[in-house]
């Protein structure tokens, strides 16, 4: 019987959790801020347990504020090379998470003949922030922290505690 959390119940009454995706693609507009942040956070949290990749509608230039915001939490994205959907060599993803409306439309078009789930996480574009360097950086931190929270929730991440 389906549960509210997507879990099902086996014949013997054991609750079965849904299978965790093994390959996730994050997509946004330019693969310069949101999707590289999400890709790097996923890799940081899950290592090689899950394959993460990111693309944009168009390949842009990596944003230095994104690099700075990620550096604050110990994740280096400075060597990230931006990619577009057209650059994908492998399309065997279980899930595509889109972070902008345009990327969501492109992902739906991209997957129309494939068995890949597509979900949309509305994520603000921090480049719209105005003000001092710190005020602008705060917008990038908010995006970073929101993505980290959603990735942890999506993939049921738990930190190792004392054993």
Q: What is the pLDDT of residue 129?
A: 93
Residue extents of the structural domains in the chain: 8-154
3-state DSSP assignment of residue 58: coil
pLDDT higher than 60, residue 7: no
Q: And the tokens for 56?
A: 């944009």
> Looking at per-residue confidence, does 161 or 149 come out higher?
149
DSSP 21: P
| Cα gap 36→54, rounded to integer Å | 6
Q: And the tokens for 82?
A: 């931006």
Mean confidence (pLDDT) of the chain:
90
pLDDT 10s digits, 103-160: 999 999 999 999 999 999 999 999 999 999 999 999 999 999 999 999 999 999 876 6
Does the CA dihedral 26-53-161-156 come out positive or negative?
Answer: positive
Q: Residue 27: how many CA atoms within 13 Å on its side-chain side?
A: 28
- Return the percentage of the chain with pLDDT > 90, whole number: 81
DSSP 51: E
pLDDT band at 99 (very low <50, low <70, confident <90, very high): very high
Report the pLDDT averaged over residues 20-44.
97
pLDDT higher than 70, residue 42: yes
pLDDT higher than 60, residue 161: no
Whose CA is closest to 28, among 64, 68, 55?
55
| Cα gap 10→151, rounded to integer Å | 27
Which neighbouring-strand residues pair with 117? 95
Q: Which fold has domain 8-154?
A: Rossmann fold (3.40.50)
């Amino acid at each position: 019987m389906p549960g509210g959390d997507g879990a099902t119940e086996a014949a013997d009454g054991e609750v079965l959790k849904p299978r965790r995706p093994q390959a996730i693609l994050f997509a946004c507009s330019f693969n310069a801020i949101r999707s590289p942040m999400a890709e790097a956070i996923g890799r940081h949290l899950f290592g090689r347990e899950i394959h993460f990749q990111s693309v944009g509608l168009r390949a842009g230039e990596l944003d230095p504020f994104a690099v700075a915001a990620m550096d604050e939490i110990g994740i280096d994205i400075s060597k990230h090379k931006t990619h577009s959907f057209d650059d994908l060599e492998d399309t065997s993803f279980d899930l595509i998470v889109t972070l902008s409306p345009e990327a969501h439309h492109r992902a739906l078009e991209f997957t129309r003949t494939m068995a890949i789930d597509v979900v949309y996480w509305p994520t603000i574009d921090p480049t719209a922030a105005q003000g001092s360097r710190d005020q602008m950086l705060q917008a990038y931190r908010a995006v970073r922290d929101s993505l980290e929270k959603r990735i942890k929730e999506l993939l049921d991440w738990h930190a190792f505690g004392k054993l």
